[in-house]
Structure 1
Amino acid sequence: MDAFKKYVAEFLGTFTLVFIAAGAVCTDYYLRKSSGQGLGILGISIAFGLATTSVIYAISYVSGAHINPAITIAHWVTRRINPDTAIKYILSQILGASLAGFALKILFPEALYTVYLGTSTLGNEVSVLQGIIMESIISFLLVLTFCGTVLDKRAYSGFAGLAIGLVVLFGVLIGGPISGGVMNPARSFGPALASGQFTHHYVWWIGPIAGSIIAAFLYDTILAEEEAKTVSTKKK
């Protein structure tokens, strides 16, 4: 039953995150269409960051609040989570993101073929390589912060949600014009599935996963406590 609660928490947390983050893009489109002034990149960034913060405080004590396949994969490769649990986490995240995408499709029908329900897209004249590099860097910073605030026992965990939320906010703000500042494959997949927009979709899997794995290994190798390094290498 405890394991089931974790999967439900990841499902609900990812649903909330994607619904708010992608929903902010849809809202921005509707506002610009009706009044000419939308949320803008800053408003979308704040929505994404605050949603992340809220979800972490709401479910971190249940599942660890991964709400991101890239973070779960980083846990997997550094042996902080077993393969069976990791796969179920990722499936829960993808299902939550997909439900959020279809909910947005019902609520924002005019955003389906305009902003593709908030689906990630590359900026004008931005190459695939640039998109992957941007997503890798901001995802690296996200997971480095996650490791330092959530996983490291030396840190004061009460600030974890705020610190991670701020990294997400700035990641969207900086990465928005290039790659959308997604840092999360599920955030991209849910709206893409609902809208059918999968152009260059692999960018938002390769970039976040690569950056997350590098950050997790770097933290374990250099920054973690010696005791934590030993425990991590022994986990299966």
Structure 2
Amino acid sequence: MKRRIASSRPSAIPAYVAELVGTMLMIFNGLSWVCWNFSPESPIVKLIPNPNVRLCLTALCFAGGGTAIAYSPLGKRSGGHLNPSVTLGFWLMKKISTRDAVAYAFAQVIGAAISAALVLVLWSDFARSVHLGATLLGKGVSPVMGFGIEVGITFLLMLTILISVNSSIMPWTGAIAGALVAFLVSTESPLTGTSLNPARSFAPAALISIWQDQWIYWIAPPLGAALAALLYRQGIIGTGKSYCSKLFHASDIPCHHANCGYCSPTKVDVFRTTRRKL
């Protein structure tokens, strides 16, 4: 019986491909806007001389791209994580298998690397003048402060996603998360660059060999997401209910996750009452 149930689930490979392509499109869109909005030679800089206005524009375009992908066929297929930190959070919630989580993280890093390479080739001088959009600590921000900030903002993002996706407002999760990211980028990026995403930080840093303080962006965001998941699991913040790891669970696309609560009500976890251990 178990074999029949397992074989009836759709293959996960299309979801892996969707996660790779979705991450690639999101990072390409975001880094391109950074290049065009902040390169000294860009016509946008001349048209909009106020850097704060350009920062808000970048935030809206970067977050808007991610939101659009979450609701696209790509996001509906994979779940629209587009971020190893988010995948880690859902893995701790036991809503994505270890195999799928590793495949998602690999796809996200590869997708980010491809997009960064395309940005470097297409926007050459623009891209180099802004360090390919690499996340860097702002003036006067110490590594310890930067680490704490990245932990905090990723904690907020992951917790927002968990609260939204496991409630009646699930269809709005992508929009809510996107609005939060836009706010964080527009207000916090002068401090740390608002990474939230190890793949987003690693790709440009690797291509242009900027390694100073990059460890912050590989460790702090996953740690923030993990803390959010652990607190949510225990019902300390939020309901503790867990349905699926997809940001938008579309009824017309079969879900490949074995523990999907939408496919089987018995798979809905209520960590607040059961207090299950990791």
Q: Common fold, TM-score beyond 0.5?
A: yes
1:228 matched to 2:269? The reply is yes
The alignment covers a number of residue pairs equal to 234
Q: Which of 28, 34, 52 is equivalent to 2:37?
A: 28
Q: Which has the higher contact order (CA 8 A, sep 6+)?
A: 1
Residue of structure 1 in register with 2:134 after alignment:
119
* Cα root mean square deviation, aligned: 2.3
2: CA distance, partners of 1:199 / 1:169: 26
Structure 1 residue identity aligned to 2:63: G
**Structure 1 unaligned blocks of 5 or more:** none
Structure 1 length-normalised TM: 0.90
2: CA distance, partners of 1:196 / 1:180: 17
Contact 1:78–1:233 under 8 Å retained in 2: no
Q: Which of 191, 204, 228 is equivalent to 1:215?
A: 228
Structure 2 length-normalised TM: 0.77
Contact 2:19–2:82 under 8 Å retained in 1: yes
**How far is 1:25 from its partner?**
1.0
2: CA distance, partners of 1:14 / 1:130: 28
Residue of structure 2 in register with 1:193 after alignment:
206
Residue of structure 2 in register with 1:107 after alignment:
122
Residue of structure 1 in register with 2:78 after alignment:
63
Task: Kindly name which structure, 1 or 2, has the bigger radius of gyration based on alpha carbons.
Answer: 2
Residue of structure 1 in register with 2:15 after alignment:
6
Structure 1 residue identity aligned to 2:56: L
**How far is 1:148 from its partner?**
1.6
Gap change, CA 1:125 and 1:175, over 3 Å in 2 = same
Residue of structure 1 in register with 2:249 after alignment:
none
Residue of structure 1 in register with 2:25 after alignment:
16
SS in 2 for 1:163: helix
**How far is 1:28 from its partner?**
1.3
Residue of structure 2 in register with 1:136 after alignment:
151
Percent same amino acid at aligned positions?
29
2: CA distance, partners of 1:198 / 1:93: 20
Q: Which has the higher helix share?
A: 1
Gap change, CA 1:93 and 1:233, over 3 Å in 2 = farther
